[in-house]
Structure 1
C-alpha cells in the first residue's frame, strides 16, 4: 500500500492582494509623474512653454533642447570627468573592501570584530563633519605641479577618489564580510591543505563565489558615486574638471530662465545610471536576495 502526501498550500497562497497592488500602483505613478513631466518639458520648445505654460499640452515636441544642452553645456567634458572619478572609485572600493572582508570573515584573530566595527562606524559620520578637516589636510598636502596645477591635493581627482573610497569601504566591507561568512569554511580549508596561499584562496576560491554580491554592490556604488554632489563641489574648483552633477549647475547659471534646456540636461544625466542598472539588473536582484531562503 502506498500513501500519497499532498503538501498543504501556504497560508494566503492564491489569495488576491488588491491592497498591495493598489499601493504599489499608486507609488509607481507618484514616482513616474515628475519624471515623465520633466521629459515632456525637455521635449517642448521654450517659446511654447512661455506662451502656454509648463502645465499645458499645446505645441510641438522635438529634440532641440537635448542637442543644445549637450553642445552648449559642454556635457561631453563633464561626462568624461565623471568617468574619471567614478570608475577608479568603484574598482578601488570593491577591491579593498573585498580584501578586508576576506580577512575578517575567513580568519580568526584578536581584533577581528573590532576592526570590522571601526570600518562600519565610519559610515555613521555625516560627511559635513569631516569637510573642513579634509579640506585643510588636502590644502596642505603638496603634490608636484606636473600632476596638480594647484601644487596640492585640492582641485584634483585624487582628492575626490580618495574620499569616496574611504567613505564607501565601510558599507561594502560589512556587506561582503556577511556574505563571505555564509560560504562553507571547508572551501578554504581544503585549499589550504592542498597548499594554496592566502592570495590564491582569496582570488581563485572566494572572489569567484562573490560575483553576485560584487555585482549588486557595484551597481549601488556606480549610482551613488555618479550622483555624488558634495565632495566634487568641495574639492574641485576648476570648471573644466567638474563631474556631471556639479557641471549641470553651469548650464543652469548660463541659461537661468530656460528650464526646458535644464530639464533636457537633467534627463541626459540620468541615462548612464539607468543603462548600468538595466545591464546589471539580474545580478543586482540576485545579490539582494542572497540568503533570503535556505535550501
Structure 2
C-alpha cells in the first residue's frame, strides 16, 4: 500500500537513486543559478554574449544599487507588503472561523457549503480574468491596493477553509465537548481550545498564502495599471530598458523579490512541516 523505503531497495536501485538525485537537483537549480550569475554580470558583458560563462566583470554592487536606488522597486515592495499582509491575515482569520463552524456544527446545509468550497478550488482562475476585471472597474477597485486585497482574500479563503476544516476534524471531539460542559462559550472554545491546537496548520497556511500572494503576477498585471498599486512582480518587468532588456537588472530584481518568500519559509519551516504532516500517522 505504501512505497518501500529506500533502505530496503536492492543495492543496484539504491546506487542509481543516489547517483540520479544530485543530477536531478542540479537540473532543478540550473535556472536559479543562471539568474544568480546574470545578476552579477555587467551590461557590457551581456552585450558581448557571455550568458553562461563565468562572469569576467563582477558588477553585483552596481546592479543591486541601481535596482534599489535608481528604480521604484522600494515603492513596489511597499505595495506588495500592503497587499500581502492583510490578505494573509484576513484569509487565515476568516478560514479559521469558517473551518471551525464546518467541522463542529452539524447544521443543515453543512455538506453543501463544504462542497461549494471544494468546487471553487477546481475553477481555473484564468477563465475569471474578464469578469473579475469588469467587476473591479464597476466597483471602482481597479488599479487599487484594496481591490487586490479583496481579490486575494476571496480566492484564498476557500482553500484555507477546506484545509482547516479537515485539520480541526482530526482533533479529538471530546476536548470540545468537555469545554462546553465546563461552561465555555463558543468564542472561548474557538479562541482558547481550538486555535492553540491548530497552530501548525495556521503556520503552514500562512506560508502558502504568503508565497502565492507575494509571487502573484497574473492578477497583479490584470488588475493594475501604472505604478500606483503595482506590486514587486509587476515592477520587475519595468526594469527592462526601452530598446534592449537589461537582464542583469531584471535578474537582480527577481532575486530581491523572491527573498521574502524564502525567508518566511525558513523562519517557519518547523511549523510548516508539522502542519502538513499532521494526521499522517496514528498512535
TM-score by length of 2: 0.91
Aligned-pair CA distance for 1:270? 1.3
Counterpart of 1:68 in structure 2 is: 66
Conserved? CA contact 1:227–1:245, under 8 Å: yes
Aligned-pair CA distance for 1:251? 1.0
Aligned 1:34-45 pairs, distance under 5 A: 34-45=31-42
The root-mean-square deviation of aligned C-alpha atoms, in Å, is 1.9
2:86 matched to 1:88? Answer: yes
2:190 matched to 1:190? Answer: no
2:223 matched to 1:235? Answer: yes
CA distance in 1, matches of 2:243, 2:75: 18
Conserved? CA contact 1:121–1:170, under 8 Å: no
Q: Would you identify which runs of 4 or more consecutive aligned residues in structure 1 move more than 4 Å?
A: 10-16
CA distance in 2, matches of 1:256, 1:282: 44
Counterpart of 1:223 in structure 2 is: 211
Q: Out of 126, 129, 136, which is 1:128 matched to?
A: 126
Aligned-pair CA distance for 1:83? 0.4
Aligned-pair CA distance for 1:263? 1.2
* Cα deviation 1:6-49 (Å, max 9, x = unaligned): xxxx9875656333333332221111111112111111111123
Distance 1:239 1:293, change over 3 A: same
Distance 1:69 1:82, change over 3 A: same
CA distance in 1, matches of 2:80, 2:199: 25
Number of residues of Structure 1 aligned to a counterpart in Structure 2: 276
Report the secondary structure of 2:51's partner residue. Answer: coil
Counterpart of 2:153 in structure 1 is: 165
Conserved? CA contact 2:103–2:168, under 8 Å: yes
* Cα deviation 1:93-135 (Å, max 9, x = unaligned): 1111111110011111111111011012112112222222222
Conserved? CA contact 1:52–1:58, under 8 Å: no
CA distance in 2, matches of 1:227, 1:204: 33
Larger of the two Rg values belongs to structure: 1
Structure 1, unaligned runs of 5 or more: 1-9, 142-151
Counterpart of 1:140 in structure 2 is: 138
